[in-house]
Amino acid sequence: MTIDWTRAAVIGALTGGAFWAAAVYALITSVGAVVAWVAVGVVAVALLVVGLALFRRSSSPERRCYGAGLVLAPFTGLVPVAVFSAAGLLVHVGASV
């Protein structure tokens, strides 16, 4: 069964934008507390699990698009978060780049 990958990408981008906006807000307000990182990770894994379940078990192409979008959502902001986290870690340990 085929799905509309354009629709799935748009759903993933919108969901990912909302997810990462909330995640970055939580991380900034908690000053990078471990609990906030764990919470962001748990929500990201939950998005992946729900997305995979929708994608694999749904018979309608529209629901499969939503599933694929939810799987893509946590990955939309992963690179910027990794870059800024690495920069913050370097500043924290005192390295100069």
Distances (CA, A) of 64 to 31, 46, 54, 56, 74: 37, 17, 6, 7, 17
Which helix H or strand E contains 71, and what residues bound it?
helix 61-72
In tens, the pLDDT along 76-85 reads: 988 888 898 8
Model confidence pLDDT, tens digit, residues 43-73 = 999 999 999 999 999 999 999 999 999 999 9
Residues 69 and 10 sit within 8 Å (Cβ to Cβ): yes
Domain range annotation of the chain? 5-88
Rounded (10°) angle between helices 78-93 and 5-29: 20
Tokens coding 38: 């764990």
Binned at pLDDT 50, 70 and 90, residue 96 comes out as low
